[in-house]
Structures are given as C-alpha cells and as structure tokens.
Amino acid sequence: MILHITSKQDWSDAQTRGEYTAPSLATEGFIHFSTNKQALHVANAFYRGRTDLVLLVVDETRLKPELKWEAPAGPPADNISEADLFPHLYGPLNLDAVTSVLDFQPGSDGSWHSLPV
C-alpha cells in the first residue's frame, strides 16, 4: 500500500470526475505518494496546520498508470533524505485503486504524530 495526502475538496472533485489528479501531475508529470514510513515526514514538512485533509490508501497493484520509485522531487525537507525513494504515479489515479479514505487531522500543535492507518 502507498499513501497520498490531499484535501477533502480535491478528493470530492475526483469522485465527480472519475479520476484523481494533483497539481503536480501538470507541473511535474507525476503525482506524489508516500510509504507508511514517509507519510508523517511529508505531512509535517508540507501540510503543517492544515485541517482539511484526507489520506488516500492506495493498492499499488491496482494502479493503471506507471508507478516509479524515485528520489524526492524538489528541495529536501526535514527528515526526508534524498536517498529515500518515493512512489511517483505518472498519470491520473484511478479511483478503484483507492482502498480507504481516512480523515487526516493534525494534533493541537498543528503537526502529525501518528497515521490513522
């Protein structure tokens, strides 16, 4: 399983469209995903304080577009190593690959300390 953090609104829009796309698909050519080990670091580096998020749990064996494991895109953030490989999806996420959609709320300090999975 791989994970993707997105807003509740973007997930709702995806259900209407029949597939999920992220802004990074247009700007970088892929959608960013994380492993269980990486997701907290990503959440705290890029989404601190956001309360409108869900965590998509995705079965990578069900993905239709190509999934590649690559170094992180962009500048490294705290606790994210350039040597750490991240899953990148090179196309829209087909909704039937999503096995769970979990509410993803930070703690009272605005950061995440555990995953809801």
How many separate domains does the chain show? 1
Q: Tens digits of per-residue pLDDT, 21-72?
A: 999 999 999 999 999 999 999 999 999 999 999 999 999 999 999 999 998 8
For residue 77, what pLDDT is reported? 60
Give the other-Cβ count within 10 Å of 9's Cβ.
Answer: 10
Q: Residue 66 belongs to what domain range?
A: 2-103
For residue 82, what pLDDT is reported? 64
For residue 76, what pLDDT is reported? 57
Whether residue 9 is contained in a domain is answered as yes
Whether residue 117 is contained in a domain is answered as no
Whether residue 108 is contained in a domain is answered as no
Q: What is the CATH number of the domain that holds 40?
A: 3.20.170.20
Q: Tens digits of per-residue pLDDT, 64-97?
A: 999 999 988 766 565 666 678 999 999 999 999 9
- The C-alpha atoms of residue 96 and residue 89 are separated, in whole angstroms, by 15
- The C-alpha atoms of residue 35 and residue 113 are separated, in whole angstroms, by 15
Whether residue 115 is contained in a domain is answered as no
Q: Tens digits of per-residue pLDDT, 102-115?
A: 999 999 999 999 99
The answer to whether the beta carbons of residues 10 and 71 sit under 8 Å apart is no
- Say what the pTM is: 0.92
